[in-house]
Amino acid sequence: MVENHVVGKKSAPPTRSCEQQSGDEFFVPTSKIWQVDRELVLLLAGGRALLMQLAHPKVAAGVAQHSRFQEDPLGRLYRTMSAMWSIVFDEKSKADASLRQVEKTHKRVRGNVPAGEPSQARTAYAAFDQELLLWVHATLIDTAMVAYNLFVAPLTPAERQDYYNDSKKLAALFGIHERNIPQSVELFDSYMTGILASGGIQVGPTAKNLARDVLFPRPCLLRPVGPIFRFVTAGLLPEQLREGYGLPWNVRREKRLLFLARTIRWLLPCAPALLRIVPNARKAEKVRRRRLSSATHP
């Protein structure tokens, strides 16, 4: 079961703790998480993270019962990423405000998994349960590394560890207890493998209903990019979840995805900052350049 991978579940809002960086932000531009998460192209993999999260029956139930997800599924993705960007790139006062907003939203999220789910049916859930906090966080971190490897540049083993070390600080900020956080990238990989093989992560009817709104967005402006979004999402999902959602895949599609990735990597260095760097990082880096220039030329 999923619970075997995480100890000490809590339903009350967890206490955030993190060894904060000195200065105005939780993370500095030289940190690996800053260098990776500043890449806007990682949003291409957002569907993967969402569908992985929804494959957890408790997450799917919480989303279905406590949000207007079906009205604006990609809006939820953008709000999630905006909160992440704020915490990684903004000054601490703004980052803390984002964390408080996340906590406020989560306080009312509790209930029971519907009876018709193939896994964890009728079990209680709460957004502050440690297993759910860790799973949602893990899907974002794992997806960021997968997308960066594919669309930007391969991460060396040392770079993966550096990125993961930064992500542990992020996990603590979101209230995940240190004892529940895998302490190395190897242990994190084992956690992902183990939880996917545990039987607790299964695509049930609630997840399938929600996934349709992710993969076939209603706003007319998003429909032209829908096929690419569905294609990339299907290609990046773990095989068992891809099959669970009924998304077609084959060797030909795999080759097309690799060609798309090579094209993006080739074009990325030429992309203007507006199209390449996430808004929060652009602003933070601009402020730092201005401060550096003022210090150099008083």
Structure confidence at residue 21 (pLDDT): 42
The whole-model pTM stands at: 0.88
Structure confidence at residue 40 (pLDDT): 95
Question: pLDDT tens, position by position, for the chain (298 residues)?
Answer: 333 333 334 445 555 544 444 458 899 999 999 999 999 999 999 999 999 999 999 999 999 998 877 677 667 677 788 888 999 999 999 999 999 988 888 888 999 999 999 999 999 999 899 999 999 999 999 999 999 999 999 999 999 999 999 999 999 999 999 999 999 999 999 999 999 999 899 999 999 999 998 888 776 656 677 889 999 999 999 999 999 999 999 999 999 999 999 999 999 999 999 999 999 999 999 888 877 766 666 6
Closest CA to 195 of 253, 240, 160: 240
- Taking the C-alpha atoms of residue 68 and residue 163, their distance in angstroms, rounded to an integer, is 33
Tell me the residue type at 77.
L
Give the count of beta carbons closer than 10 Å to the beta carbon of residue 196.
Answer: 17
Burial of 68 (0-12, 13-18, 19+ CB in 10 A): exposed
- Taking the C-alpha atoms of residue 44 and residue 46, their distance in angstroms, rounded to an integer, is 6
Structure confidence at residue 274 (pLDDT): 93
- Taking the C-alpha atoms of residue 121 and residue 58, their distance in angstroms, rounded to an integer, is 9
Closest CA to 178 of 4, 3, 20, 8: 8
- Taking the C-alpha atoms of residue 288 and residue 298, their distance in angstroms, rounded to an integer, is 15
The residue behind tokens 């773990």 is 238
Structure confidence at residue 222 (pLDDT): 61
DSSP per-residue letters across 131-179? HHHHHHHHHHHHHHHHHHHHHT-PPPHHHHHHHHHHHHHHHHHTT--GG
Sign of CA dihedral 91, 97, 101, 106: positive
Q: CB–CB of 130/6 below 8 Å?
A: yes
Residues 123, 125, 129, 130, Cα dihedral to 10°: 50
The residue behind tokens 């030909």 is 252
- Taking the C-alpha atoms of residue 15 and residue 32, their distance in angstroms, rounded to an integer, is 25
> Which residues fall within 8 angstroms of residue 238, CB to CB, at 6 or more apart?
52, 196
Structure confidence at residue 2 (pLDDT): 34
Structure confidence at residue 18 (pLDDT): 42
